[in-house]
Chains A and B, each alone.
Chain A
Amino acid sequence: MKFKTKTINLFALIALLFLFLLSFQSFAEEHNQKEHQEATEGKFDAGSFIFEHIGDGHDWHILTVNGHHISIPLPIILYSENSGFHVFWSSKLAHGDSYKGFWLDHEKGKIVEDVNGQEYLPWDFSITKNVMAIFISMALLFWIFISIGKSYKKNVGKAPKGMQSLLEPIVLFIRDDLAKEAIGEKKYERYLPFLLTIFFFILINNLLGLIPIFPGGANVTGNIAVTMVLALFTFTITTFSGNKNYWKHIFNAPGVPWWLKIPIPLMPIIEIIGMFTKPFVLMVRLFANILAGHIIAMGFFSLIFIFGAMHMIAGYGISVVSVAFAIFMTFLELLVAFIQAYVFTLLSALYFGMATEEHH
């Protein structure tokens, strides 16, 4: 029941999101050309403001002063079928500049190659803002957990200290209340490293996403490609660790009337679809939750500028309300950051548990 209502909520959220996206995209397309002019004129475009923050980018935009963008350039890695590999800094493409025939199409958000007046899309493996943020979180994870591992080796059998004692309850919680409960005493140890990694990866990226300035601020766990990869890892591990009992439940579920299996294999089809919906739901849940949080927080800030553009006093007035709401939302997002990391890990553990459950 719990999962059902959650799924319904989720779909409602996704539907809303799609509506929002569609309406925005048409809006954005209409106004994209005029964006620069509008910015210099002092008008505020909430849609592009929000989507610039939650979307990916080829550079890491920090702030704009008088229409002048200040951003951290990131490496662009391209493979073109026409001209081979290219690696250069994103600053070369700033302000709509063209470099070696490549230019950044803001409308599509993609790098386009111009060959003799014809447009081609090169293979784009650039270190984008999100990829950079993933690298930063990777470095953080390595630094935190390798140092903790060292401190475990250093003070064997002693009480934990510092960072160790901060994260030990979480590690213990994942081990005892999550992995052991969901997978079972016998097999949980095999999956524990993955569960811990995925939990802390999601958590750290969720938390970094809440920090508005440079090392944070990227919308990593609100990026569908990232959550897709995480869900695919869970899916792959689930599928490869599935035992005889697991596959039997899928293809020939016991306790189901025979006419649901023959002549039309209704149950097996449902079960096979279920195999794929599980990771799909994992992917969408994390993505939608984090994205929605970011959009709402940004929306509150946008309100200040929308009202400010209308009238200065209105802007100041609404800023009090907006900041209060944004703070509230940030606290909520802090909670969500933990909950989503927990839910993703718990469901992964449950799927592993299902895949390895022995016949009773």
Chain B
Amino acid sequence: MGLVTPDYGTIFWMVLSFSIVLFVLGKFAWPAILNGLKEREASISEALQSAEKAKEEMQKLKADNERIMRKAREDRDELLKEARDIKNKMIESAKAEAQKEAAIMIEAAKQVINSEKISAINEIKMQVANLSIEISEKILKKELTGDKNQEELINKMLNDFKLN
């Protein structure tokens, strides 16, 4: 077996063995290995992509949150403002109501006072009239105890009348 002359026996076995190697590895080893690699690469790139997506989503969420927060704050401010307005209005209206009520009450009180005053005056008037009648009765009774006095009185009265 010369060193540079290919031996046909070796060629025969080599062709056979290498074909078997090629076939067996091509059927049972390489597809599994290459597919495994491909799958892993795909899953890695998918994971990276989804991470990127999640990041984006996160950003979006954050922006959304901020927007919502801002809106909430605005809403709150508006609500507070409204509430303040309402409060002011309420106070205002309450004040007005109270004033009106007070005015009515004062009016009523005034009327009562007036009518009371009138009735009191009337009563006083009657009392005074009665008193004056009683006094005049007592005076008359006392004055007209002597004839002389009676005569005098009559005369005086007659004089008064005459003067009128």
Contact = CB atoms under 8 A, between A and B. Distances in A.
A194 B22 contact: yes
Contacts of A38: none
A56 B24 CA distance: 27
Interface string A129-166: 01100110010011001101110110011100000000
Contact of A56 (B1, B15, B37, B43): B1
B14 A225 contact: yes
Interface stretch (A95-103, A120-128, A318-326, A349-357): A120-128
Contact of B25 (A18, A51, A150, A193): A193
Contacts of B6: 224-225, 228
Given A130-B10, A131-B13, A146-B28, A138 B20 contact: yes
A224 B17 contact: no
A49 to B, nearest CB: 15
A291 B22 CA distance: 25
B21 A138 contact: yes
A196 B22 CA distance: 9
Contact of B29 (A17, A21, A135, A149): A149
Prevailing SS type, chain B contact patch: helix
Nearest to B27: A193
B17 A56 contact: no
A226 interface: yes
Nearest to B20: A138
Nearest to A226: B14
A11 interface: no
Nearest to A131: B13
Nearest to A54: B3
Q: How large is the interface on A (under 10, 10 to 19, 20 to 34, 35 or more residues)?
A: 35 or more
Interface stretch (A2-10, A167-175, A303-311, A335-343): A167-175
B11 interface: yes
Given A134-B17, A149-B33, A223 B10 contact: yes
Given A21-B4, A55-B3, A134-B14, A197 B22 contact: yes
A128 B30 contact: no
A110 interface: yes
Given A54-B3, A225-B6, A230-B18, A134 B26 contact: no
A56 B13 contact: no
B37 A168 contact: yes
Q: Which of A127, A194, A224 is packed against the most chain B CB atoms within 10 Å?
A: A224
Nearest to A24: B3
A124 B20 CA distance: 21
A141 B25 contact: yes
Contacts of A131: 9-10, 13-14, 17
Interface string B13-54: 111011011101110111111111101100100000000000
B25 A192 contact: no
Interface of B: 1-15, 17-18, 20-22, 24-26, 28-37, 39-40, 43
21 contacts: A56-B1, A110-B1, A124-B7, A124-B9, A125-B12, A131-B9, A131-B17, A138-B20, A142-B21, A142-B25, A145-B30, A146-B24, A148-B32, A149-B29, A157-B39, A193-B31, A197-B22, A197-B30, A226-B10, A228-B6, A229-B14
- List 8 tightest A-B contacts by C-beta distance, closest first: A152-B36, A149-B32, A145-B29, A225-B10, A225-B6, A229-B14, A131-B13, A193-B26
